Amino acid sequence: MGRSRRTLPEELLLLALDPTTGTTAQPQSLDLGLAGAQLVELALAGRIAPDGDRIAVVVPRPTGDPTLDCALELLRRRGAPVRAVHWIGGPRLGLRQTYLSHLERCGMVHAVAGQMCGVLPTTRYQATDNEISREIRARLDSAIRTGVPPDPRTAALAALAHAVGLGKHLYPGNEGRSSRSRLRDLIRHDPMGGLVAHAVMDVQNGAAAQPRRGPAATGRQGVAGARSAAEPARGVPMQPHRGSMARVVAH
């Protein structure tokens, strides 16, 4: 996979980054969304494929992206297909920080040191080029406004944005209600994105231990017929340094 194109985890993180505060919206559910976005990106690269409500490795060849290849290798080591909810609900310590640091190295964001309560060190992240975030947002806006079925990458991004609760961040207030509804509806346009998005919502709702009832979401009909969930709550305040962490992830 070439690095000229941004990956879905990177785009999801840029969507969640508030340009004013330098914090990320929905920090807790965003961690789940990033793990799910990795699965969709690997599927788009032809490395994995859905097998009912499970994920199977079909081509173990590395993509060239270290973070994605780490996820691919972990999936390969499982041996058998793994349920999407179990993968997404597993420990993902530092995943958000990994992607923030990557975006910083690529020059897409820069870290801003600060303090909480005048004492505790914190780090916020500001986009260095808001045009990139505007381009990503414009793809979602176009799909919502025109009603034209989006490409699989945009459809998956919309599904993940809805799943982690970014609808109220992107389209706030009563005036954004219809846009949030259409954002949710875009979930039906990509089977893999829909499967992963529903898995993210199931983990948040505590349903990871139970298999999904009804037909498996293996195709467009299954994904379209799957239930939608309510938007998660808003994010939580940024937390201070803990332990030996080099910096606090922007919340």
Q: What is the pLDDT of residues 61-116, one digit of tens each?
A: 999 999 999 999 999 999 999 999 999 998 877 888 899 988 988 888 888 887 66
224 vs 195: CA distance, rounded Å: 10
Write down the pLDDT at residue 238.
36
Sequence-separated contacts (24+) of 108-112 with Cβ below 8 Å: 108/10, 108/14, 108/132, 109/17, 111/247, 112/22
Write down the pLDDT at residue 129.
75
pTM equals: 0.77
Segment among 19-28, 104-113, 217-226 with least mean pLDDT:
217-226
251 vs 249: CA distance, rounded Å: 6
pLDDT at 240 over 60: no
Q: Three-class SS of residue 120?
A: strand
pLDDT at 121 over 70: yes
Mean pLDDT of 20-28: 82
User: In the predicted model, what is the mean pLDDT of the chain?
Assistant: 80
In this predicted model, which residue has the larger pLDDT, 198 or 220? 198
Confidence of residue 33 (pLDDT cuts 50, 70, 90): very high
126 vs 108: CA distance, rounded Å: 9
Q: Give all strands of the β-sheet with 48-51 in edge-to-edge order.
A: 48-51, 54-57, 82-83
Write down the pLDDT at residue 23.
83
pLDDT at 180 over 60: yes
Write down the pLDDT at residue 36.
96
Write down the pLDDT at residue 182.
92
Write down the pLDDT at residue 14.
92
Segment among 18-27, 43-52, 144-153, 175-184 with least mean pLDDT:
18-27
Write down the pLDDT at residue 130.
78
Q: Helices marked H in 17-129 — which ranges?
A: 27-44, 66-78, 84-88, 95-105
